[in-house]
Structure 1
Amino acid sequence: MADIQARLQVLSEEYTKLQKDLGDVVQSRQKLEAQKQENLGVQTEFSKLKDGETIYKLIGPVLLKEDRGDAESTVKGRLEFITKEIIRLETQIKDVQVKMEAKKGEIIQIQTAAQTGPGVQAAQA
């Protein structure tokens, strides 16, 4: 019985770690989604600009003039990177969820075996 308790303890700790990992990955994905929305907003503002209007980039406490083509290229590159990262994190989320379900199944299986084990042994005696 002590062996079963020890195994359940280990599985519970592994499940808890997976829950924390899932929370961390979901939080990272949310941050990326916020960055994506911000960059989409910037891209929308670019489309509203008229020819010849000046674009400034904030670098620390200073605003520097930036070429429109460079600015649009930078934002487009960021959006591509963020989108790829979101896809990667979504895959990671699914993987962790699958692992969590497997651990949960193991825990339930051991708990069920522990509950039915002593009853079966007592009935056979």
Structure 2
Amino acid sequence: MAEVQQRLQGLTTGYQNIQQGELHKPHLTGFYMLIPQQSYKTMQKLESQQQENKAVQKEFSGLKDEANIYKMVGPVLLKQDKTEAVLAVDGRLEYIENEIKRVEKQIKDVEDKSDELRAQIMQAQSESQPQGQGPQPQAIA
């Protein structure tokens, strides 16, 4: 009985840590997983950058091939070839889309781990109930 209670306590602590964003296990890539709140902030930032780059891409599509395009590098505007500018924006969009996929996977991994721990907690709670008594509702935050 004490083993079940100890297991239940460990699972509950792990679940609370995930919910509070304290999951710091190294990811397969060697990077630490972002806490959920940071992941959502990162996702918002990436989506904003994606929209900005799509707007630039749309503006470029309406320009003639001989149009002058300038790129700001520090305090200086440098003339840039349209093909080069389009390729740079396309490359940024591809990078942003890959980052969005990566962050979505991180969020899903944390949510899956949370769901798995919740199921284990419910199983441990049912095991800790004395035989003959019905389950007592217990809130999982």
State TM-score, norm by structure 1. Answer: 0.76
Displacement over 6 Å in runs of 4+: none
RCO comparison, higher one (Cα < 8 Å, 6+)? 1
User: Secondary structure of 2:64's match?
Assistant: coil
User: Secondary structure of 1:117's match?
Assistant: coil
Identity of aligned residues (%): 47
Question: 113, 117, 121: which is aligned to 2:130?
Answer: 117
Q: Which has the higher helix share?
A: 1
Aligned counterparts of 2:93 and 2:131: Cα–Cα separation in 1: 59
> Residues 46-125 of structure 1: matches in 2 within 5 Å?
46-114=60-128, 116-117=129-130
For residues 41-79 of structure 1, give each alpha carbon's deviation from its aligned partner in whole angstroms, at most 9, with x where no partner exists. Answer: 110111122343211112223322222111110000111
State TM-score, norm by structure 2. Answer: 0.69
| Aligned CA-pair RMSD | 2.4
Contact 2:4 2:127 in 1 (8 A): no
Count residues in correspondence.
119
| Structure 1 unaligned regions, length at least 5 | 121-125
Q: Summarize the Cα distance change of 1:16–1:62 in structure 2 as closer, same or farther, 3 Å threshold.
A: farther
